[in-house]
Structure 1
Amino acid sequence: MTASTIPVVIDALIASFGTALGDSNVFDGTGVTDNTLTDYVLVGVADPDGDSITESATSQQSWPWLGHAVRDETVVVHCVAVSWNGDGVAKTARDSVFNMLGTVTTAIQDNPSYGVSGVLYVQGVTSMSLHQLQDENGAIAFLPFDVTVRSRIS
């Protein structure tokens, strides 16, 4: 029996977001090495500024029936939309992260089960928090958001 749908859900989100935003703008974890990018999404990241291991996803499981043949699972995958501009205009960075969020939200709504075995549906973006900074290097906006998925493991 599969322990969790977390790995396949993260893979499906990366593929879906990559199709919607362009593969070069979506990363599995904090693997951004090209610091020329100004707009991108990190999948499986709770805190893009952290210098230690970051929480990627959480799961809650329950047995819906007697016999323990299947489990219901609620998976929450942490993601972050990031936008930076060198001109210091906070509105530009803020608008960009919300545009990226709108694009990935549409991608989720267009394919709510992702064709992944066991995934009943993707609830969608269930929480978000805007973080902004302006300094001599420009303006940056981080938009951490969570994607919640309901699954059945058998």
Structure 2
Amino acid sequence: MGLRKHLSTAEIVEQAVFARKLFSDEFGTITNVVFMGMGEPLHNVDNVIKASSIMVDEQGLQFSPRKVTVSTSGLVPEIKRFLNESNCDLAVSLNATTDEVRDWIMPINRRYNLSTLLGTLREELRLRPKSIVLFEYVMLAGVNDRSGILG
């Protein structure tokens, strides 16, 4: 579909408010938010940081910071900024154990390879030991589900 625009801070927060109103009667209170699924959230890092801050603020939506997660493919400079400026969780999509496979699955790896990405995370977590980073791994049959390259 291609990029049409980045959502503003207000548009992002509005989605959470709308979801709470729409689903709270049927499913109970919405307690978790994950930024993912419609592009790379950290390409819009300014508005994502602001929106996640509003979501966890006592004067805002009052989500627990441990219940708001931003998922990324691995934009290293934006990861550093997010971990420095946000108290929400970060999830990193790895999807491969080697650069060769990850290059094929996730082209961002050509810019920020596994060594750079994992080294950055190690360093940032040393500086901020209370930060939480989750790892995501989608299994693709014959591609990244065995020890061999691409199947």
Higher helix fraction: Structure 1 or Structure 2? 2
Flag the structure with more relative contact order, 1 or 2, with Cα contacts below 8 A and sequence separation at least 6: 1
Identify whether the pair has TM-score above 0.5, normalized to the shorter chain.
no
Q: TM-score, normalised by structure 2?
A: 0.29
Q: TM-score, normalised by structure 1?
A: 0.28
